[in-house]
């Protein structure tokens, strides 16, 4: 008589980690989700930490190839390619908002447009920060090809610079500069295509001392068919680094 071998019980395979999303899982079921798109050269960790200010909100920061933990991957320098690749691997969990700061605002906007084009669930709010409306013409030097020294000087003058602790570490600077170059190339190759306003409430944030002007922020009005709300905060381009509390109040609202 042949005794059958016991069949081992197989547990569910662990879910594959989405390389696009960085976040700290909540112990309780989230009431909502916030997906943050960082600024040029920005690392996800700065935005993941916002979870401490937003109770009940699962905060994720989007990490593009060539940045942060994905520094070894080839960077994408075409925004359409970024949006397609992100949506191939990512399903946003409702209810959710999208937030983008500086260049991240443009990425979040184009992601929302693509979600609408595909008939997928839209965010409850699109929050754009410190970036001119996407249809406005852009004039200025091409930044992606600048020598390292000139690029660092420009970052210090125009964008508040690389954080001092990071700037003091040559290895960290060498790691960050390719990400800045890729992000600037992404912006330099972007061409806005008219498609009508979004059926999504729009929240526009900015710093009162930023080089992005109130008129450039007001121009976002044409990109929502629902509501547009503007909030100005004390500070410059990175106003939320000075005082996160009022910004968190808007994001939680």
Q: Which helix (H) or strand (E) holds 82?
A: helix 79-89
- State the DSSP code for 125: E
Partners of 228 in the β-ladder: 202
Q: Are 99 and 74 in contact (CB under 8 A)?
A: no
Catalytic residue check, 102: yes
**Whole-Å CA distances, 19 to 63, 90, 143, 161:** 7, 9, 28, 27
**Active-site annotation holds for 211:** no
Residue 181's nearest CA partner among 92, 24, 61, 76 is 76
Which among 40, 102, 129, 224 is annotated as catalytic? 102
Q: Which of 33, 39, 101, 237 is catalytic?
A: 237
Residues involved in catalysis: 102, 237
């Amino acid at each position: 008589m042949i005794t059958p071998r016991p069949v081992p019980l197989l547990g569910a395979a662990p879910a594959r980690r989405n390389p696009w999303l960085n976040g700290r899982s909540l112990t309780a079921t989230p009431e909502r989700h916030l997906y943050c798109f960082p600024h040029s050269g920005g690392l996800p960790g700065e935005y993941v930490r916002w979870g401490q200010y937003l109770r009940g909100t699962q905060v994720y920061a989007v990490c593009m190839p060539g940045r942060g933990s994905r520094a070894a991957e080839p960077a994408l320098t075409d925004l359409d390619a970024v949006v397609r690749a992100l949506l191939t691997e990512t399903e946003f969990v409702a209810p959710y908002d999208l937030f983008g700061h500086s260049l991240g605002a443009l990425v979040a906007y184009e992601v929302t447009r693509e979600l609408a084009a595909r008939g997928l669930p839209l965010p409850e709010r699109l929050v754009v920060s410190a970036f001119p409306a996407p249809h406005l013409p852009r004039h200025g030097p091409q930044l992606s090809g600048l020598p390292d020294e000139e690029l660092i000087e420009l970052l210090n003058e125009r964008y508040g610079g690389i954080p001092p602790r990071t700037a003091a570490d040559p290895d960290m600077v060498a790691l960050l500069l390719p990400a800045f170059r890729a992000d600037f190339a992404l912006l330099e190759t972007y061409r806005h295509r008219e498609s009508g306003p979004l059926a999504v409430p729009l929240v526009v944030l900015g710093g009162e001392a930023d080089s992005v002007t109130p008129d450039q922020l007001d121009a976002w009005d044409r990109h929502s068919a629902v509501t547009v709300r503007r909030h100005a905060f004390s500070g410059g381009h990175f106003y939320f680094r000075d005082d996160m509390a009022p910004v968190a109040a808007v994001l939680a609202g």
